[in-house]
Amino acid sequence: MSPSCNATVTTALEHEHRSVDTVVEAISTIADDLEQGRRIDPSLPHEVVFFLRVFADQCQTAKEDSLLFPALEAKCMSPATCLIEGLKNDHERASWLTLELLKAADSYAAGHASARTPLARTLRDLAALYREHIWKEDYLILPLAEKVLAQEEQEMLSRAFQGVETAISSDDVASRIAKHAQRCQCHVGEVFS
């Protein structure tokens, strides 16, 4: 979420992306453990779903899809709008993968041994999607926003972003997942087949 009222829209989104990076690393670690036959805390994938639904979908995606992207589309020509459409498609794919993750997580938590593979695969797909998506935003969209949006427009967007944000800060959500990942790391050397 926005680090301060005076932060630019791009700075606020970059800060949020670092929180997403933390979760993506935890997602990759969980997938590693599953692929190596390790048992994971069944609540961990549900924590990822929590993050993806609350922060990524309800907060960040909502700000981008309803505020930032329309502002950019109003100022940009075809190549940028094609990129924005691709990012919107990424958001839809992330929502679909989050539903798949929830199904796989529920199955894993219920003790179904066959859930390990789809759970790991969905986690890998989510990690790859978010890494690519964040790269496109950090290196293509945010510089574009800095270039084409006037200071007044950025300030208006920043205020609108704050209206979208929930009471849960991105740092709190990311640290909640990171704590679970650290707790699970104590079992890295043990395989619970």
Instruction: Kindly list the structural domains of the chain, giving each domain's residue range(s) and its CATH number in brackets, ordered by start.
Output: 9-185 (1.20.120.520)
One DSSP character per residue, 41-58 reads: -THHHHHHHHHIIIIIII
**What is the residue whose two structure tokens read 């979420």?**
1
List pLDDT tens digits, range 15-61.
889 888 988 999 999 999 999 999 999 999 998 998 888 878 877 88
- Determine phi and psi for 21, rounding to 5 degrees: -55, -40
DSSP state of 105: H
> What does the alpha-carbon distance between residue 98 and residue 79 come to, in Å, rounded to a whole number?
29
List helix spans (H) across the chain. Answer: 9-35, 43-51, 62-63, 69-75, 78-109, 116-136, 142-148, 151-164, 170-185
Q: Tell me, what's the pLDDT at 162?
A: 81
- In which residue ranges of the chain is pLDDT below 50? 1-5, 167, 184-193
